Structures are given as C-alpha cells and as structure tokens.
C-alpha cells in the first residue's frame, strides 16, 4: 500500500482530474491512499508553520511504514531508476510526504528513510501532486512492461 500525504487540499480542478486518472490507472497494481492534512496559515515564523504542518504529516503517516519525503535536496532519479526504487518497496507500506508551500519540517526530514527530488526545477506543491502520481503510474507501467514509458 502506498500512502500520499499532502499538506493542504488539492485546489486546482485540472490537478484533481489528472490525479484521478493516474490513481485509477495505478489501482490495478497497488492500493494508493491520498491523505490531505490541513495547511497552516502563513505567519512570520515560517519554521513554526512548517513544524505544525510536519506534526500533522507524521501523525497521518501509517505506522511502521517507510517514509519518503519529496524535497528539492533529495536524490534525483530517472523514471527507470524511480521504477526500480518503487519495486524495491513493494512489500512494504510506503508513505510519500509532500510539504506545503514552505516545504517540509526538519522533524519530517529526520524521520524519512529516503529523500527524493522529482526535478532540479522548483514546482508549486499543487503540481508536485500530479507529477508524483504520474511518476508512480509510470513506474508501475515500466515494472509491468506496459507501453506507457517510451
């Protein structure tokens, strides 16, 4: 089982629709559960904001599973490498965490077994949701010889 924990609600309709499509396609390979934790109102104390959101992420994470954080400082992989990474985790409950617009708290990063970056570019946290579920589907397609990845 894969759990995706996102800070804040998925707001953009096109992101929701795209996520829905890739989650539906992925459902034949793996159960994927989306959990949205509430976003903190931004204050001058950004570390406190990230800390409060981080506490919610850690509370929402399934117990005993592997935590993977999406972070700009994480490991960069090709889609084929990411597919192998996903395959290596298939016997474990896995949680992917995506922070809010300020990123992830240090507590969440310390708890993570892996840190992964989707790109050298910066994306808003809404778009990252869509990119992550597309890459998960792509990984399943690669691992199951489905001609999606070319």
Query: 98-129, pLDDT tens digit by residue?
Result: 999 999 999 999 999 999 999 988 888 899 99
Q: Does the residue 94 lie in any domain?
A: yes
Q: Does the residue 149 lie in any domain?
A: no
Give this prediction's pTM. 0.94
Q: What is the pLDDT of residue 43?
A: 81
Average pLDDT over residues 6-35: 97
> What is the CATH number for 115?
3.40.1280.10
Total domain count for the chain? 1
Q: Does the residue 103 lie in any domain?
A: yes
Q: What is the pLDDT of residue 36?
A: 98
Q: In terms of C-beta distances under 8 Å and separation of at least 24 residues, what long-range contacts does 86-91 make, across chains too?
A: 86/136, 86/139, 86/140, 86/143, 87/139, 87/143, 90/30
Q: Which domain holds residue 60?
A: 2-38+47-143
Q: What is the pLDDT of residue 39?
A: 94
Q: Does the residue 150 lie in any domain?
A: no
Q: Does the residue 11 lie in any domain?
A: yes
- Pairing verdict, β 2-7 and 66-76: unpaired
Average pLDDT over residues 72-84: 96
Q: What is the pLDDT of residue 132?
A: 98
Average pLDDT over residues 131-149: 96
Q: At what angle do helices 125-143 and 13-26 cross, to 10 degrees?
A: 20
Q: Examine the pLDDT at 97 and tell me if it is beyond 80.
A: yes
Share of the chain above pLDDT 70, in %: 100
Q: Does the residue 121 lie in any domain?
A: yes
Share of the chain above pLDDT 90, in %: 86
Q: Does the residue 148 lie in any domain?
A: no
Q: Does the residue 93 lie in any domain?
A: yes
Q: How far, in Å, CA of 56 to CA of 50, rounded?
A: 10
Instruction: Judge whether 62 and 93 are in contact, CB under 8 Å.
Output: yes
């Amino acid at each position: 089982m894969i759990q995706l924990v996102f800070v804040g609600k998925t707001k953009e309709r096109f992101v929701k629709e795209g996520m829905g499509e890739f989650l539906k396609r992925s459902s034949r390979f793996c159960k994927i559960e989306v959990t949205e934790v509430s976003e903190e109102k931004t204050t001058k104390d950004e570390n406190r904001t990230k800390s409060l959101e981080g506490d919610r992420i850690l509370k929402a994470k399934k117990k005993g599973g592997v935590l993977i954080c999406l972070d700009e400082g994480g490991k960069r992989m090709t889609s084929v490498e990411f597919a192998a990474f996903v395959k290596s985790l298939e016997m474990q409950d896995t949680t992917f965490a995506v922070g809010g617009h300020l990123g992830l708290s240090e507590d969440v990063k310390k708890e993570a077994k892996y840190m992964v970056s989707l790109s050298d570019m910066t994306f808003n946290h809404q778009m990252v949701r869509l990119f992550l579920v597309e890459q998960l589907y792509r990984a399943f397609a690669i691992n199951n010889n489905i001609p999606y990845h070319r």
